[in-house]
């Protein structure tokens, strides 16, 4: 009996020493690789750049010229190329450590004496929190994330009046795309009134001048209000509220399918949370439809994160229908993977094919595919 106990104790000692050796190796390997990666990140952040939690090099939000933004984008891409090998080294050290630990606990003659045979398959590798830049998907993820960040960062604002006295505010993003807000005033004569007085319109165009979306809030003479959004693919969302507070809405896809917006679109807290900072739509849960107002647009400042009203509504719609619970929807709507309000960055990393990334901020040859947002909104709200 004592010999058996001694044998098992000896086996356990050997087992513990092998696992400890594997973990000790990991502490050294991972620690060294991580220190090098963090040192490079600190060096990068000594410039007007920052490194996200996903190890993506971004440009610090601030007002700047187009030339300065272009120069910083080049610097960000160069810094990313320098950082990636160090991030890959961390991943490789982690993977090697995991393999050593699994090998240690699976060693023949040890685990069978300690707790029976343990198959290496009993310890599946955990999924990565960050897409590996060693793979094409990981590098694409970085490009999309940086492009998303630039497309939702205001670098310049100009405030003018057109020939009719309407206030025109142009918000230029870091990537050169624009959101032009026009607030229409009373022209005096109906024949001269392009849109009813009090109408606010935001026209979103990419850096090449291609139309992405248009959002317009129009007041009715009887006290009601309407917000209409149209995307480049032909998808539209229309929401109305009568003077006595009756709210309705619908979505029509490019191929003509129509669906009534669910009551939750107007009554749940999600519109308030997802609508505000990302879209600068005036939203109050249960107290009206999302609407463009001068007061909300004036809150957008140089250096701010702003996706625009159409992107805000698209995100709202996507999250409401795709999230399993309202809580999940609110979390997605408020945080987003990159801290930008609304999950236009990505709903998941790694093998999730970028979730709504491709829909909201797909980058093809440097030109934005925001028009695809309309297709996604249509598929979500108007399923076949």
CA 237 – CA 249 distance, rounded (Å): 7
pTM of the model: 0.76
Q: Please tell me the predicted confidence (pLDDT) of residue 113.
A: 52
Residues 276/333, Cβ–Cβ less than 8 Å: no
Q: How far is CA 203 from CA 61, 66, 279, in A?
A: 22, 20, 13
Per-residue pLDDT, 271: 46
Half-sphere exposure of 151 (CA within 13 A, CB side): 27
CA distance linking residue 96 with residue 360, whole number of Å: 36
Q: What are phi and psi of 127, to 5 degrees?
A: -75, 150
User: Which string of DSSP letters, residue by residue, matches 317-376?
Assistant: HHHHHHSSSHHHHHHHHHT-TTSSSSTTS-S--STTTTTTHHHHH-EETTEE-TTHHHHH
How many CA atoms, within 13 angstroms, populate the side-chain half-sphere of residue 252? 8
Predicted confidence at residue 259, as pLDDT, reads 84
Neighbours of 313 (CB within 10 A): 30
Above pLDDT 90, what percent of the chain?
A: 28
pLDDT score of 342 more than 50:
no
CB atoms within 10 A of CB 158: 11
CB atoms inside a 10 Å sphere around CB 62: 15
What is the pLDDT confidence band of residue 158, given thresholds at 50, 70 and 90? very high
What is the overall mean pLDDT for the chain? 74
Q: Which of 372, 245, 243, 379 has the alpha carbon at shortest distance from 310? A: 372
Pairing of strands 200-205, 247-252: unpaired
pLDDT of residue 363: 32
Pairwise pLDDT comparison (87 vs 321), residue with the higher score = 87
The DSSP element (H or E) to which 105 belongs, if any, is helix 66-105
pLDDT, one tens digit per residue, over 49-91 is 999 988 999 999 999 999 999 999 999 999 999 999 999 988 8
> Per-residue pLDDT averaged across 100-106, rounded?
70
Kindly tell me if the per-residue pLDDT of 160 is higher than 80. yes
């Amino acid at each position: 009996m004592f010999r058996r106990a001694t044998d098992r104790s000896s086996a356990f000692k050997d087992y513990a020493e092998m696992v400890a050796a594997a973990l000790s190796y990991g502490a050294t390997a991972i620690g060294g690789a991580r220190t090098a990666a963090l040192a490079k990140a600190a060096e990068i952040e000594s410039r007007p750049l920052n490194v996200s939690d996903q190890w993506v090099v971004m440009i610090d939000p601030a007002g700047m010229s187009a030339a300065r933004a272009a120069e910083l984008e080049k610097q960000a891409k160069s810094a990313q190329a320098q950082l990636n090998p160090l991030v890959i080294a961390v991943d490789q050290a982690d993977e090697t450590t995991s393999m050593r630990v699994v090998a240690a606990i699976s060693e023949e003659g040890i685990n069978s004496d300690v707790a029976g045979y343990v198959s290496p398959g009993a310890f599946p590798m955990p999924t990565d929190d960050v897409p590996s830049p060693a793979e094409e998907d990981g590098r694409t993820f970085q490009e999309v994330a940086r492009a998303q960040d630039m497309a939702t960062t205001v670098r310049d604002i100009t405030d003018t009046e057109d020939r009719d006295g309407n206030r025109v505010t142009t918000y230029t993003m870091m990537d050169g795309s624009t959101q032009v807000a026009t607030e229409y005033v009373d022209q005096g004569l109906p024949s001269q009134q392009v849109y009813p007085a009090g109408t606010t319109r935001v026209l979103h165009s990419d850096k090449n001048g291609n139309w992405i979306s248009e959002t317009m809030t129009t007041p009715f003479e009887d006290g009601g209000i309407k917000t209409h959004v149209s995307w480049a693919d032909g998808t539209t969302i229309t929401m109305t509220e009568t003077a006595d507070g009756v709210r309705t809405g619908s979505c029509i896809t490019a191929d003509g399918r129509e669906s009534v917006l669910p009551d939750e679109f107007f009554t749940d807290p999600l519109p308030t949370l997802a609508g505000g900072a990302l879209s600068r739509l005036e939203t109050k849960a249960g107290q009206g439809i999302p609407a463009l107002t001068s007061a909300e647009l004036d809150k957008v400042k140089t250096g701010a994160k702003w996706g625009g009203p159409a992107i805000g509504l698209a995100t709202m719609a996507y999250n409401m229908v795709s999230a399993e619970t309202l809580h999940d929807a609110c979390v997605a709507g408020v945080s987003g993977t990159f801290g930008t309000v609304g999950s236009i960055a990505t709903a998941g990393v790694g093998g999730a094919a970028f979730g709504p990334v491709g829909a909201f901020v797909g980058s093809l040859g440097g030109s934005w595919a925001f028009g695809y947002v309309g297709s996604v909104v249509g598929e979500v709200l108007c399923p076949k």
